[in-house]
Amino acid sequence: MTYVFDTSSFIVLGHFFPERFPSFWELFDSEVSNGRIVSVREVYLELDNQISRPHLREWVDRNKHIFLTPGPAESAFLAEIFAISHFRQLLSQKQILKATPVADPFIIASAKIRGACVVTEEVAKKNAAKIPNVCEHFGVSCTNIEGFMQREKWKF
């Protein structure tokens, strides 16, 4: 299974200090090397404004290759997402006005096209345009860091 990571999940990974969790990072880096963990360019841009932990900044910069640029298939699927007026809330007016990166629809599109699972810390909310809600609507698998580790049968 391939996993497409959201900004929120990378931020959580910042709490896994490499000196305290070396076995986690060995497994995680192995999955990255095998191409099973990816993300999107927009997550990289969001992280650029949000990372506060030096070890996470270093890791992201070393692994910039996993932050993929959307291709034509993802772009076409973005149109499907935004064809549903309710899901246009993925783009907030504030983000549009400030021209800040918006990763959520790109994460979902990337996962849909790759047959992958989204990893996010967002939680589904009734009648909301959250990543898990949009994933459910389009039949895209979605979990969080804990669910990712359970799926991969990781124990420490």
Q: For 76-125, what is each residue's pLDDT tens digit? A: 999 999 999 989 888 775 666 566 789 999 999 999 999 999 999 999 99
Give this prediction's pTM. Answer: 0.95
> By the 8 A CB rule, do 131 and 6 touch?
yes
Assigned token pair, 49: 């404004």
How high is the pLDDT of residue 153?
98
Give Cα separations from 64 to 16, 56, 88, 128 (angstroms). Answer: 19, 12, 28, 31
Name residues whose C-beta falls within 8 Å of residue 148's C-beta, 6 or more positions apart in sequence: 3, 9, 117, 119
Question: What's domain 3-151's architecture?
Answer: 3-Layer(aba) Sandwich (3.40)
Domain ranges of the chain: 3-151
How high is the pLDDT of residue 30?
98
> Residue 75: pLDDT band by 50, 70, 90 thresholds?
very high
